[in-house]
Amino acid sequence: MKGLLLLAAVALVGTVLDCGARQPAAQAAAEQQDLASALSEAGANPLEYLRALERHLAKYPDTPRRAELERAAARAAIEAGDDPAIILYGERVLARQPDDVETLDRVARALSLSERKDAAGRTLQYARHFEELLRQMQADPAHGGVTVAEWRDRTDRALARALCYEARAAGTLGRADQALTLARRSFETYANAESAREVARCYERMGKFADAARALADAFTVTDPRNTDDDRARDRQRMGDLYRRATGSQAGLGDVVLEAYDRNQAGLRARQLRLRAEDPNAQLKNAMEFTLSRLDGPSLRLDSLKGKVLVLDFWATWCGPCREQHPLYAEVEKRFAANAGVVFLSVNADEDRALVKPFLAQEKWTGPVYFEDGLAHALTVMSIPTTLIVGKDGKVFSRLTGYVVETFVDTLTERIRAALGE
């Protein structure tokens, strides 16, 4: 957090330095000095950082960098959890950048929590646009540079939030049936405690207290790392009150909770199966069980190579050192061409996979290329080029991060032979 604020402060001061062409040099210098001093005093405290920006905007209302400063204020407000400031500065950011997904998320949430009818219409507008952008993101073939399963998980979780904001706004506007439908869709999209509570609120408004208690049993039992013990305690108390209101006592409430637990566990297992259908590597712990998709050809199950020594070359089209290393890597591969016990795998780490085929043609690289499909994360590959040697037992035997031109070929050769036991 401290690092992010310091980086933001440096960037903001830098933008003010560029103002000379649009404002007198003396005024630009004075503004730059004031901003640098104010942000330095604010330090790493997001609330103080926000207040410093607000004071600066008040002092320099005609600053040519108002847009950047208000965006920084919106970020600081989000870090500080200051809902009124999130709404104030976030809406100004969205007026300029309506597709800013993070700001849409936080502004819609802050507005929905206010439960004001005059804000509910804006909540719906932002939340619906947030939902629209998320559905477009789900179709992104680059899937955010993460695995298909991780991308689906992230976007589904965000979609559930968008639908929950819409449900809350519809409820505030008195549209009970619409609110309930949206809240249910939110929970079905990604089961979580907040969506379950919104379903309960909808039922409670309708006077369906037993249904509301059942929805709170979902909130109480659902697997949700964001749900705290205090949250569950409040859900338990409210669930008991609503159930008693519906039935006259709490007799039978334990069965409702157990049913909710079983229902949510079954839902979790079903979701995991769906993710595995989309991404065979979803939830895998052992990297050697991964399946890697291939640029041109069938996918490869790494466990099908068990008992062999694997040499994994992690690279990307944008990586200059990868190009320079490639002929050295190819020389090592030639040395083991006759050894069926050694398998060399070219593993591409590009986010945009459409770049790979033309790159290979341009560089005249040959041989099969596989996509990392989450393997880099599983094997803690933090930079490229990286070469990993996996032993016959399926465990990482050696790791070379980067390369030294003069020694790479011999070093990699020696390590492969050591993995072979030669």
Phi–psi pair at 397, nearest 5 degrees: -95, -40
Q: What is the pLDDT of residue 416?
A: 96
Using alpha carbons, list the distances in angstroms from residue 361 to 344, 356, 357, 365, 367. 20, 9, 6, 7, 11
Q: What is the mean pLDDT of residues 331-349?
A: 95
Return d(Cα 357, Cα 368) in angstroms, integer.
11
Count helices and strands (H / E) in the chain: 17, 7
Share of the chain above pLDDT 90, in %: 73
Question: Is 90 exceeded by the pLDDT of residue 283?
Answer: no
* Helix spans in 282-382 (H): 320-335, 356-363, 375-378
Say which residue, 26 or 69, is predicted with more confidence.
Answer: 69
Q: What is the pLDDT of residue 30?
A: 78
Q: What is the pLDDT of residue 277?
A: 82
* Cα dihedral 219, 220, 223, 226 sign: positive
Q: Which domains does the chain have, with CATH numbers?
A: 2-267 (1.25.40.10), 287-420 (3.40.30.10)
Distance of CA 235 to the CA centre of its chain: 28
Q: What is the pLDDT of residue 384?
A: 92
Distant-in-sequence, close-in-space partners of 83: CB < 8 Å, separation ≥ 6: 110, 113, 114
Both tokens assigned to 286: 């052992």
What pTM was computed for the model? Answer: 0.74
Question: Is 60 exceeded by the pLDDT of residue 9?
Answer: no
> What is the pLDDT confidence band of residue 42, given thresholds at 50, 70 and 90?
confident
Distant-in-sequence, close-in-space partners of 225: CB < 8 Å, separation ≥ 6: none
Q: What is the mean pLDDT of residues 14-42?
A: 68
Q: What is the mean pLDDT of residues 33-53?
A: 85
Rg (CA), the chain: 28
Question: Is 70 exceeded by the pLDDT of residue 13?
Answer: no
How many other C-beta atoms are found inside a 10 Å radius of the C-beta of residue 315?
Answer: 24
* Helix spans in 206-347 (H): 209-221, 229-247, 253-278, 320-335
Question: Is 80 exceeded by the pLDDT of residue 28?
Answer: no
pLDDT digits (tens, 9 = 90+) for 104-154: 999 999 999 998 999 999 999 999 999 999 999 988 766 666 778 888 999
Q: What is the pLDDT of residue 41?
A: 80
Distant-in-sequence, close-in-space partners of 318: CB < 8 Å, separation ≥ 6: 350
Distant-in-sequence, close-in-space partners of 321: CB < 8 Å, separation ≥ 6: 384, 385, 402, 403
Distant-in-sequence, close-in-space partners of 186: CB < 8 Å, separation ≥ 6: 159, 160, 161, 163, 164, 167, 195, 198, 199
3-state secondary structure of 294: strand
Q: What is the pLDDT of residue 141?
A: 66
Q: What is the mean pLDDT of residues 232-250?
A: 96
Which residues belong to the active site?
319, 322
Return d(Cα 142, Cα 148) in angstroms, integer.
9
Average pLDDT, the chain: 90
Both tokens assigned to 193: 């405690």
Both tokens assigned to 348: 């591409």
Return d(Cα 48, Cα 22) in angstroms, integer.
29
Both tokens assigned to 325: 């290393």
3-state secondary structure of 181: helix
Residue 12 and residue 70 in contact, taking contact as beta carbons nearer than 8 Å: no
pLDDT digits (tens, 9 = 90+) for 168-217: 999 999 999 999 999 999 999 999 999 999 999 999 999 999 999 999 99
pLDDT digits (tens, 9 = 90+) for 356-415: 999 999 999 999 999 998 899 889 999 999 999 999 999 999 999 988 999 999 999 999
Question: Is 80 exceeded by the pLDDT of residue 162?
Answer: yes
Share of the chain above pLDDT 70, in %: 93
Return d(Cα 125, Cα 121) in angstroms, integer.
6
Q: What is the mean pLDDT of residues 246-275?
A: 95
> What is the pLDDT confidence band of residue 23, given thresholds at 50, 70 and 90?
low
Question: Is 60 exceeded by the pLDDT of residue 229?
Answer: yes
Question: The tokens 């008992």 sit on which residue?
Answer: 307
Return d(Cα 198, Cα 216) in angstroms, integer.
9
Of the candidates 121, 122, 134, which has an alpha carbon nearest to the alpha carbon of residue 94?
122
pLDDT digits (tens, 9 = 90+) for 385-397: 999 999 999 999 9
How many other C-beta atoms are found inside a 10 Å radius of the C-beta of residue 72?
Answer: 25
